[in-house]
């Protein structure tokens, strides 16, 4: 598999995942079709847009409308299919899909920073985290939810670990860049899934509430 | 009327409208003069700023301070005249003025995207919506209100319809571009005004709360 | 002292100050290490990032990782030392440090706008205010606090006065630019500190609640 293909595929998957979470976030509120679709699209392209603005490269969806189309279509399908979701399922699937999107976007953001010669490893880490959480933060802010940074869930940690592993592989095994992308994504998503499944929380010494 | 003149005039009107809503949003809270003015200015120039950042053109108010001056002046006048507004009037006028600003900014954003060769019609629609709601979303987020995307009002729909009509006119009657701008704006504002006046809400099948 | 040195020093101090407030903002909530660090870094570099995006210059931390490193280190130290802060002290120190950061960033933002030939005085004022409050607004929005624009505290006024004094000195005593930077910062921080210390509030005619 070429690195271009893997990157493109990850981008499409992450876009679908985040668009779905954007619409699911308003599933239990009375929001009209267009607002739900706008939320889905903002959630899907928000992180990558911040990444591109900061990197001073053309915003990815200004050149190629593929991912905007994917985000629109995913949002519409999610809206139409909302009645098939029962509430507990919505909540659970929402968490996993959001975790997958964050893992995928985190790796693709760090990858893009690496390609553009950002400093290793700090530049990759910052751009990966921005890309991973930017869209989700916009979703949470726009819908009035507690932002994902404020929950005590194991959310940012898996993405950070995935990026570090991928970054180390980039550095020491540069010939295996698409493998590194896949490994980083799988690690980040596996850790996040484990945290959701077993309802893991971080040890008290690892949070601001140490008392 | 030349298209430049119509665009400029719409830009000034939209700036006044949004600056007013930014200050009115804190009319019933205890906010100092400078904070109120900053809110007015952010609301007025926020949507266009996001549009220009995404389009990678110089931010409109970095080259020409006219619209910043208009936003500042409108905010100051609104602040000074606040005591003349009684509360129900504030609320009603706020809704209409906000609708006018959204219609004006939506069309001017889509127009700018069209001039810069964005894809028709999706690129125009995305940039028009971003410009129309960007400043209002910033206002709602900064003042802690429920964002306009979360209300069950007929808000985004009129702007989308106006942009679609304008975009179709651009495509098939390119000689009438300033007329298209005016028609799109009038349609969007008329639909929004009708929704406010008759207190229209969207049919249940058109919202996320279908049950 | 050269102006480059003074600007760099102010930048480091402001970065430390805002990073600390970003972590302190979640001191009483249960937030994990990585989320706290991300908040600290966003608070520290957020205002300058918006400034650079709007000015269309490379984002300051994409070229030189010094301030990102300073933000990271300050955030980590604040996190580790959180248990040494008792609650009333946290609150008080938070207010002063935040005021110092706003003063420092306000002046450095206006300075950068001046160097890049923005219009005097309005361009300097807008960019200074954006830089001063951008990071703090992001912090407040992400942590779900009432944004600093919505409090009735004397917050924006000192920064505005400091920038005006500095701008006047730039204009009429251009040889003393580093002195102007220091004077503007000292004035802004002194006014803010006085407001915190004596619990000053703005006169009613200066707020939206005139009744």
CB neighbours of A210 closer than 8 A, spacing ≥ 6? A204, C82, C83
Cα C79 to Cα C167: distance, rounded to the nearest angstrom: 37
Contact between chains at A149 and C53 (C-beta distance less than 8 A): no
In chain A, what is the straight-line distance between the N-terminal and C-terminal CA atoms, in Å? 50
Contact A11, A102 (CB under 8 A): no
Consecutive 10-residue averages of pLDDT for chain C (211 residues): 77 89 86 90 94 89 88 93 70 81 92 87 91 93 90 84 94 90 94 91 74 49
Please list the alpha-helical segments (H only) found in B56-153. 60-63, 66-80, 87-115, 122-142
Residue C152 has its nearest CB partner, among B30, B53, B65, at: B30
Cα distance from A157 to chain C (closest Cα, Å)?
6
pLDDT at res. C206: 76
Tokens of C37: 């660090």
Contact B130, B109 (CB under 8 A): yes
Peptide bond into C121 cis (omega under 30): yes
- Tell whether B154 is within 8 A of chain C (Cβ): no
Contact between chains at A79 and B208 (C-beta distance less than 8 A): yes
Which chains have at least 3 CB atom pairs separated by less than 8 Å from chain B?
Answer: A, C
Chain B positions touching C150 (Cβ under 8 A) are 26, 29, 31, 35, 142-144
CB neighbours of B18 closer than 8 A, spacing ≥ 6? B43, B44, B47, B71, B98, B101, B105, B135, B136, B139
pLDDT at res. B162: 96
Return the residue of B nearest to C139 by Cα: B142
Cα C166 to Cα C134: distance, rounded to the nearest angstrom: 20
- Tell whether C53 is within 8 A of chain B (Cβ): yes
Cα A33 to Cα B208: distance, rounded to the nearest angstrom: 7
The residues spanned by each domain of chain A are 3-206
- Tell whether A146 is within 8 A of chain B (Cβ): no
Residue A201 DSSP one-character state: B
Contact between chains at A149 and C31 (C-beta distance less than 8 A): yes
- Tell whether B190 is within 8 A of chain C (Cβ): no
pLDDT at res. A49: 93
- Tell whether B53 is within 8 A of chain C (Cβ): yes
Chain B positions touching C160 (Cβ under 8 A) are 34
Would you say residue A61 has pLDDT above 70?
yes
Tokens of B43: 């609301």
Return the residue of B nearest to C158 by Cα: B34
Give the mutation candidate from A149, A155, A188, A205 for the C interface (greatest C CB count, under 10 A). A149
Give the mutation candidate from B20, B22, B25, B35 for the C interface (greatest C CB count, under 10 A). B35
Which residues pair with residue B201 across a beta bridge? B153
What does each of the 211 residues of chain B score in pLDDT, given as a tens digit? Answer: 677 787 788 788 889 989 999 998 888 788 888 889 999 999 999 999 999 999 888 888 887 889 999 999 999 999 988 877 656 776 677 788 889 989 999 998 999 899 888 888 888 999 999 999 999 999 999 999 999 888 777 888 899 999 999 999 999 998 888 899 999 999 999 999 999 999 887 777 777 765 4
Contact between chains at B149 and A41 (C-beta distance less than 8 A): no
**The model's pTM:** 0.90
Q: Which residue has the tokens 């302190």?
A: C24
- pLDDT tens digits for range A162-190: 999 999 999 999 888 889 999 999 999 99
Give the mutation candidate from C208, C209, C210, C211 for the B interface (greatest B CB count, under 10 A). C208
pLDDT at res. A188: 96
Cα A53 to Cα A65: distance, rounded to the nearest angstrom: 17
Contact between chains at C35 and A141 (C-beta distance less than 8 A): no
- 3-class DSSP assignment, residue C43: helix
Q: Which residue has the tokens 């890049």?
A: C116
Return the residue of A nearest to B136 by Cα: A142
Task: HSE, CB side, 13 Å, CA atoms: give it for residue C148.
Answer: 26
pLDDT at res. B87: 66
Give the mutation candidate from B55, B59, B149 for the A interface (greatest A CB count, under 10 A). B149
- Tell whether B61 is within 8 A of chain C (Cβ): yes
- pLDDT tens digits for range C112-161: 899 888 888 888 999 999 999 999 999 999 999 889 888 777 888 899 99
Q: What's the angle, vertex CA B178, arms to CA B176 and CA B180, rounded to 5?
A: 65
Residues 102-141 of A with CB under 8 A from B: 141
pLDDT at res. B85: 60
pLDDT at res. C68: 93
Which residues pair with residue A1 across a beta bridge? none
Task: HSE, CB side, 13 Å, CA atoms: give it for residue A82.
Answer: 27
Which residues pair with residue B207 across a beta bridge? A32
Contact C32, A154 (CB under 8 A): yes
Chain B positions touching C55 (Cβ under 8 A) are 62
Contact B104, B8 (CB under 8 A): no
Tokens of C36: 């706290």
- The pairs formed by A84-90 with CB atoms below 8 angstroms and a separation of 24 or more are A85/A24, A85/A27, A87/A28, A90/A24, A90/A27, A90/A28
Contact B190, B161 (CB under 8 A): no
Angle between helix axes C66-80 and A122-142 (nearest 10 degrees) is 70
- 3-class DSSP assignment, residue C155: coil
pLDDT at res. C120: 83
Measured in degrees and rounded to the nearest 5, phi and psi for residue A92 equal -65, -50
Return the residue of A nearest to C32 by Cα: A207
- Tell whether C91 is within 8 A of chain A (Cβ): no
pLDDT at res. C210: 57
Cα C17 to Cα C78: distance, rounded to the nearest angstrom: 11
pLDDT mean across residues, chain A? 87
- pLDDT tens digits for range A81-122: 887 765 677 667 778 888 998 999 999 899 989 988 888 888
Angle between helix axes C33-55 and C3-24 (nearest 10 degrees) is 140
Residue B65 has its nearest CB partner, among C123, C156, C211, at: C123
Task: HSE, CB side, 13 Å, CA atoms: give it for residue A117.
Answer: 4
pLDDT at res. A87: 65
Return the residue of C nearest to B86 by Cα: C211
């Amino acid at each position: 598999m070429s690195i271009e293909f893997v990157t493109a595929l990850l981008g499409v998957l992450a876009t679908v995942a985040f668009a779905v979470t954007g619409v699911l976030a308003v599933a239990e509120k009375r929001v009209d079709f267009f607002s739900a679709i706008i939320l889905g699209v903002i959630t899907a392209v928000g992180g990558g847009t911040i990444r591109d603005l900061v990197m001073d490269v053309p915003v990815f969806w200004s050149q190629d409308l593929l991912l905007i189309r994917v985000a629109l279509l995913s949002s519409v399908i999610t809206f139409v299919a909302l009645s098939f979701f029962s509430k507990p399922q919505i909540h659970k699937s929402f968490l996993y899909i959001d975790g997958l999107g964050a893992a995928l976007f985190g790796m693709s953001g760090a990858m893009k920073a690496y390609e553009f010669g950002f400093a290793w490893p700090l530049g990759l880490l910052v751009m990966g985290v921005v890309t991973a959480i930017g869209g989700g933060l916009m979703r949470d802010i726009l819908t009035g939810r507690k932002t994902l940074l404020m929950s005590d869930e194991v959310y940012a940690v898996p993405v950070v670990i995935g990026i570090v592993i991928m970054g180390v592989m980039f550095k020491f095994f540069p010939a295996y860049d698409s493998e590194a992308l896949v490994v980083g994504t799988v690690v980040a998503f596996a850790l996040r899934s484990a945290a959701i499944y077993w309802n893991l929380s971080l040890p008290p010494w690892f949070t601001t509430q140490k008392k």
